[in-house]
Amino acid sequence: MSLKDLVKAHALDLPVTPVHEKWMTENPNPIYSPEAIAFAVDQLSGVSGSNRRRKRMFRASGTHTCKRRQVLAFIGHPGVPEQITSKLGNIFATGNFTHLKWQMQGLTAGWLAAAEVPMDLPEINAGGTADGVLTEGGGFECKSINDRGYSRVTSYGPLEDHEEQTDNYMFLGGLERYSIVYENKNDGEWREFVRYREDKNMLKVAERFDELNEFVEHKRLPIVLDDCKVGEGAKFRQCPFRDTCPKMKRWPSV
C-alpha cells in the first residue's frame, strides 16, 4: 500500500488498515503470539463453539435468506445434506484459513482484541459468532472473495447481505461500528470498509427478529417464494429444505 493510500486510510478513520499494513511490512515471516497460536489450536481442534452450535437461535449471518428457511432451521426441520465435492471442500477450507490467518495476524499485531466472539441475545432467540472485536471496540468481519466480487465491492462498497450481517452484530453486541475486510482470493489484495450504527438500521434488525419469533410462537410458516414454487432460482437450489418446503401446507412436526 502506498503512502497516499495510508494517508487516505487515516482520513477515512479505518481502524485496521494502517496498523495492519505497518505490521505486515515489518513481519514478512511472522512469528505469532502465544495468544494467536492458542486460538488457532482451539479452532483447528474443532472444540470451540460446539455447545453453542446446539442452541436454537436465529443466526445473525443468515437473515439474508428467506424467512421460511430461517424458521425451518430454527425449529430443527431436517434438510437435504449438502453435497460436498472435493472442489467445494477446498473452497470452504480456503475461506476458513483466510479467516484464521486474519484473526491470528490481528491478535498478534494487536488490532484485534478477541476472535470468534459470541454475540447472543437469548431473550429474542438471536445470536451468532463475530469474526472478532477490535481493540478500539468495533466489530471485525473478514470475507474472502473472487476477483469479480472484489471488483464489485471496491467499486460500489460492501455487499448488501454483508451490510445486513454487520448491522445484526452491531445490534446484538451493542457495537457502534464494524470493519469489513475483503480479501481477493485471486491476488491477495484487500480492502477495509467501515459501517456505522444507525438507528434506522437497528430498528430494521429488531423488527426482523420480532417477526421471526412471531412465526415460531404462532406456529405459522412464512410464505413460499415465487421461484421456489416452481423450483427455480439460486435461493431454491441452495436451500437445504427445497425438497419439502414448497409442499408444506401446515406447521411441520419436527
Asked, for residue 180, whether it belongs to a domain, the answer is yes
- Say how far apart CA 244 and CA 254 lie, in whole Å: 13
DSSP-assigned beta bridge partners for residue 130: 117
Rg for the chain, CA atoms, rounded: 20
- Dihedral angle over CA of 102, 105, 110, 116, nearest 10: 40
Domain that holds residue 119: 34-64+83-222
Residue 173 to residues 28, 162, 195: CA-CA distances in angstroms?
Answer: 34, 16, 14
Residue 193 grid cell: 470498509
The whole-angstrom separation of Cα 250 and Cα 254 is 12
pTM above 0.95, yes or no: no
Count the domains in the chain. 1
Q: Is the dihedral of CA 176, 130, 168, 166 positive or negative?
A: positive
CA–CA dist 195, 201 (Å, integer): 11
- Report yes or no on 134 lying in a domain: yes
Distance CA 232, CA 224 (A): 12
Whether 173 maps to a domain, the answer reads: yes
Instruction: Say how far apart CA 246 and CA 236 lie, in whole Å.
Output: 10
Query: Is 254 part of any domain?
Result: no
Q: Give, for all 254 residues of the chain, the pLDDT tens digit.
A: 555 555 555 556 899 999 999 999 999 999 999 999 999 999 999 876 655 556 799 999 999 999 999 999 999 999 988 888 999 899 889 999 999 999 999 999 999 999 999 999 999 999 999 999 999 999 999 999 999 999 999 999 999 999 999 999 999 999 999 999 999 999 999 999 999 999 999 999 999 999 999 999 999 999 999 999 999 999 999 999 999 999 999 998 86
In a domain, 49, yes or no: yes
Q: Tell me if 141 is assigned to some domain.
A: yes
3-state secondary structure of 64: coil
SS3 call for 184: strand
Domain-located, residue 233: no
What is the domain-level CATH number for residue 134? 3.90.320.10
Q: Give a yes or no: residue 168 inside a domain.
A: yes
**DSSP state letter for 138:** -
